[in-house]
Structure 1
Amino acid sequence: MIILNQRQQELLGIVHRESYVTVEKLSAHFGVTHQTIRRDIALMAEHQLLQRYHGGASVLSSVENVAYNARQVLCIEEKRRLAALLAKQIPDNASLFINIGTTTEEVAKALHRHRGLRVITNNLHVADMMCDYPDCEVIVLGGVLRKRDRGITGEATVQLIRQFKVDYGIIGISSIENDGVLRDYDYREVRTSEAIIQQSRQVLLAADHSKFGRPALVELGHLSQVHALFTDKPVPPEMQAVIAEAGTQLFVAD
């Protein structure tokens, strides 16, 4: 498991925002040598956080997500802050969907003091931790188990989701495009998230700053389907306008 220092996390964020960045530009931005930047890029490329090129670095392919063990530590403090903020919006005795993702797993951790929750999830990590919470009932959705992250997807999962109507659907996402389109990498995971959105009275989206403008293959929906977005940094003015037009509440844990 890799732990990134502050410069490396910021470097990764720049690459996500700009798609491709040169070593020269990164060196000037951070005030360090080209050699230092190349070492940072090599380390993150080794852990599948970005793509290394001669003279620079780019985001990974739009068809493949970052490895699960790398996502567990990527922007971890930011995820914890926004998760804590989201958890404050959930009352006791609520019913919840929680989908696949390391950010939603942090939300599940932040709910440990709640009482009377009824949680329906296709994320075995979430189920494992929340089944020990006091007065918390956990329903695990059936389907095909993904080995890489213990997520459950497939047509059976979608059909089971459609049997419930819950107070809150808590979802994570891989990409929020500049026009408010939500995207992810696995079409089977997208189908389950679509069903969660449809079967939730309120949809709460948890997404750290690295998810904005990031490329991903499969369209999931639009911010207009989301009641509230929780992130960790103020968003650019143009993105604020898109969020406002979508009618989505914005919560920033900064």
Structure 2
Amino acid sequence: MRQEDRLGLILQELNEHGSVGVAGLSGLLSVSEASVRRDLHLLEQQKLLTRTHGGAVASGVLYELPMRYRGGQHHDAKRSIAQAATALVGPDVSSVGLNGGTTTTEVARELASRTHLRVVTNALNIAAELAVRSNIELVVCGGSARAESYELVGPLAELTLSSINLDIAIIGVDGVHPTAGFTTHHEVEAHTNRALVRAAERVIVVADSSKIGRRGFAKIGEIATASDIVTDDDASPSELDELRRLGPAVHVVPAR
């Protein structure tokens, strides 16, 4: 396991339990206790946790993991979801909007080989990957950068999005809940995502099974906003049926 993936899992454990122990992490990550201590030391230097005797505790409340530590989580599922979402983008589609996130980054990589396609994004990492693709016409929103998601958000981003029309927007979210709708952790990010949704004729939401049934702080839109939801088969079938009853087509791919 790469160190970056280990760090992400350590932060996820902290997010869920509030504290972690060196011995427990050593077993979970299949590495030595010395490696765990080095990982904890690195995260402490970044002010992401506080070391204790035999482990660590959360430094504040970790509602949102930095994106650089989320890439290894559910990676196989995210890649399968991206492939399925890209298959929904027909040859007649000329413009696609992407917000930030690990799953939409995988979507961007799947779209990278397309021709005659304009991609609009507010994600700096996606823009960096697609900028070198001469077959893709890339449009990047302005805005204020969020370190957690690499997204450009706020009035400048929304001004760009309010003046364009997109065939499809493919949106990554932090929560998919029948009553709470599509949600994310940050209210300004949610506001910019709503602008991206309004610019699109069709909305596809990509979310791995860990997001199904969860509620984030800030609402992006109702479930009926999306024409399609793409997720993996670790999600509860009853929860997926409830989402289907609200309107979207729900596409389920293998998690592994």
Shift in Å at residue 217 of structure 1?
Answer: 1.3
- CA deviation string 1:99-145 (max 9, x = no partner): 01111111000112211111111011111111222421111111112
After superposition, the C-alpha distances for 1:191-245 in whole angstroms (9 at most, x for unaligned) are 1111111111110111111112334211221211011111122532331232122
Letter in 2 for 1:66: L
CA distance in 2, matches of 1:206, 1:136: 21
Name the residue aligned to 1:116: 116
Please say if residues 157 and 192 of structure 1, whose CA atoms lie closer than 8 Å, have aligned partners that are also in contact: yes
State the TM-score, normalized to the length of structure 1. 0.77
SS in structure 2 opposite 1:247? Answer: coil
Q: Output the amino acid matched with 1:174.
A: D
Corresponding position of 2:4: 2
Percent identical across equivalent pairs? 22
Residue aligning to 1:72? 71
Letter in 2 for 1:70: Y
Aligned pairs, how many? 235
How much has 1:181 moved relative to structure 2? 1.6
- Counterpart mapping for 1:202-221 below 5 A: 202-221=202-221
RMSD: 3.6
The runs of at least 4 consecutive aligned structure 1 residues that moved more than 3 Å come to 34-50
Q: Which residue of 1 aligns with 2:186?
A: 186
> Tell me, what secondary structure is at the counterpart of 2:5?
coil
For residues 178 and 20 of structure 1, what CA distance do their matches in structure 2 show? 26
Match of 1:101 in 2: 101
Q: Secondary structure at the residue paired with 1:103? A: helix
Residues in 1 aligned to 2:138 and 2:61: alpha-carbon distance in whole angstroms: 35
Q: Is the deviation greater in 137-146 or in 176-185?
A: 176-185
CA separation in 2, counterparts of 1:220 and 1:170?
Answer: 13
**Structure 2, unaligned stretches of length 5 or more?**
30-35, 50-56
Aligned to 2:233: 233
Alignment of 1:1-254 (within 5 A): 1-3=3-5, 37=24, 39=26, 40=28, 61=61, 64-92=63-91, 93-179=93-179, 181-233=181-233, 235-254=235-254
> Does structure 2 retain, via aligned residues, the 8 Å contact 1:141–1:161?
yes
For residues 143 and 37 of structure 1, the distance between their equivalents in structure 2, rounded to whole angstroms, comes to 42
TM-score, normalising length: structure 2: 0.76
Report the equivalent of 2:52: none
